[in-house]
Every structure is written in structure tokens, then in C-alpha cells.
Chains A and B, each alone.
Chain A
């Protein structure tokens, strides 16, 4: 009886020898950014010709992006003029109900020359994202034409651009938010300043 069972078992396993080896990292190559940085379109902070480039695909409502926000500031402070930082939209609207309108809010500030002010404000006020009057109040404070600002958001003027950012991200292997690219290669390490700086220096 025992023999029969063993034979039957071996017949089965002989067909199913395959199993992950755990050595996948040895041949692993991180995905690359397929949409090059375009100073005519992208939101760039720092010298557009800097030698190091950090691209973030982010979602304003994502708590992990909120946690990464001060880390990016640290990276910028550390690397100074050697770094240009690019932010692209990746709103995960199926899990974050306010992410899309937040992205549209930042884009509406962008056409009035205040993208980074609004970007920072949104990350610093993630908890108030559901209340549009908060961003509107800030828009007024920084001197935006609030009528134009509000109209563009309500008419979803920047929806197409945000969608383009999103799909470009998907094609580059964005796998959640935030996803960073250090000099064009996906940074798979933690979203912390030290790890990001290491990636930027290693891949320069």
C-alpha cells in the first residue's frame, strides 16, 4: 500500500518539478522610465539640466506619498543643485476618492505658475482633501485667479493630462504610489531619503 501511494505521488511530482528558486533577484532588472523628462511639459523643481534626476509618480491622497514628501525635501536639500525633481500624477482613484480632484487642483495652480506651492500645500494638508474650500482658500492667499482656478477644476480641464501621466507611469512599471525613478530606473528600495540618495548616486 505504501509503495503504491509513493508511486502515484512520484508520478504526479515528476510533472510538477517547477518551483521558484528564490534566486530571482540575481537576474532581476528594475523597469525603466519610458517617458523621458520633458521640460516643456513636466513639473520640474531645481535646475532642468541637473546631472541627477528624481521622478516621482504620486497620489495626493496616498498616505505613503504623504510620508515620502518630507523625504523628498531631504533629498533635495542634500543634493542641492545637482538634482532636478519631477512630479507626475498617479491618482489611484479606486481607493482614493479625492485623489483625482487633488491632482486637478495642482494642475489648475500650475497654469497660473504656482504648481509647487499647491503641490506642497496638498501634501501638507492631506487630511482636508475632501473639503475643496481649503485649497481654494490657499489659492486666494497665494494670489491665484480663483474664478479661473475653480472653473478649470469643475470642468475637469486637466483630466486628459493626468490620465496621460498615469498611463505613462503604468508603461514605465509604476506599481503603486509613490513610485520613484532614480536617473530613469525604478527605485525599488524604501521611500526614504537615504535610500533614494543612494539610488541616485549609484545610477548616475
Chain B
């Protein structure tokens, strides 16, 4: 019990300092998610019950990380089915797409089959949200990943990141622009 209350206090203090920081200079950029220039934390998560996918497996090529709140969002076409359609464009940049949410692997498998997803969908399930948290893309209060996008270069450095407001599906335009930039930095 004591431990829990200590942790709670600690968390409270963190949120206070965070609130102060957000009011400052950093508010202009993404105050919460990992910004461009930072090293992308490695991770290893299940894509199927007996297979894991690690970020470092994709060294040497661009990686798009798409954190999203939940499988089965009640819309006709969600963000991920759009990405499945745009996949051939991502492939033109030799980019891999990895989607991550806190849903468990069985939900992911059914979801990916239903939406015909053609990229790995990883379960940030146990410890819940650990990877999302490393990217600043976990909403502690509701226990879900935020809708956050990262484009990571071949050396594992974040080159672009974007956090969508609640309820806004970002589409693919930002990702493609970031990949353009990565391919032709002087354009």
C-alpha cells in the first residue's frame, strides 16, 4: 500500500512539473511525443502468438510507426485500412509500416484479417503500454495509446513525429511528406 501511495505522489509531482513545462517554450513543438532528432527506443513486441517484431530488425530502411487507440474503431474506413491501401506508396520509399496498440494479439489478428491489413500490428499489451509510453504516446488516464505517428530513418533516428488531436484521423499525407524529405533532404 505504501509503495502505491509513493508512486501516486510521484506521479502527481511529475504531472505538475509537466504542466509547468507545457506552458513554456516546448509547448510550440509536440510537448509530449518524441520529437525529431531523438533516437527511437527499440522494442520487441508480438505480432502473432509466437512471433516478435523488433524495431532494430528494420535498420537501414525507413520505418513508419503508427500508434493508435484501439482495434475495431466504429468507422467505415479507419486510419489503418487507409494505410493498407497506401502501402504501395510507402513501399516506393522502401519503408515498413508498424502499427501498435494495447489490444491483445488475438484481437489484432482478427482485426488485421477483417481490414485486410498488410503490415504487422503489434500488441503493446504486457506490460501494458510500455512501448507507447517510451514514445510519449500513452494516455495514462484512459490506458490507450494516442494517435501518434513517427517516421524513423535507417539509423533509428526519429525524423518526423505527429500527434493527432482526439478523434482526428491524420490520414497519410504527413507520412508521405516526411518520406519525401527523407529521400530528398534538399528538395
> Interface residues, chain A, CB within 8 Å of chain B?
1-3, 5-6, 9-10, 13, 16-25, 27-28, 31, 34, 59, 62-64, 92-95, 166-167, 170-177, 188
Contact = CB atoms under 8 A, between A and B. Distances in A.
A176 B170 CA distance: 10
Contacts, number: 124
Contact of A95 (B32, B116, B169): B116
B77 A176 contact: yes
Given A64-B75, A170-B173, 17 more contacts: A6-B10, A10-B10, A13-B10, A13-B14, A16-B133, A16-B136, A18-B34, A18-B133, A18-B137, A20-B33, A28-B165, A94-B115, A94-B116, A95-B81, A171-B173, A174-B171, A175-B82
A57 to B, nearest CB: 10
Interface in B158-178: 163-166, 168-174, 176
A188 B138 contact: no
Contacts of B79: 175-176
Q: Chain A binding site: helix, strand, loop or mixed by DSSP?
A: loop
Interface string B50-82: 000000000000000000000000011111011
Contacts of A93: 85
Contact of B168 (A10, A19, A59, A188): A188
How many chain B residues sit at the interface, stated as a range, is 35 or more
Interface of B: 2-3, 6-7, 10-11, 14, 17-18, 22, 27-28, 31-34, 75-79, 81-82, 84-86, 89, 115-116, 133-140, 146, 148, 163-166, 168-174, 176
Contact of B170 (A16, A92, A173): A173
Contacts of B164: 24
Contacts of A24: 163-166
B143 to A, nearest CB: 12
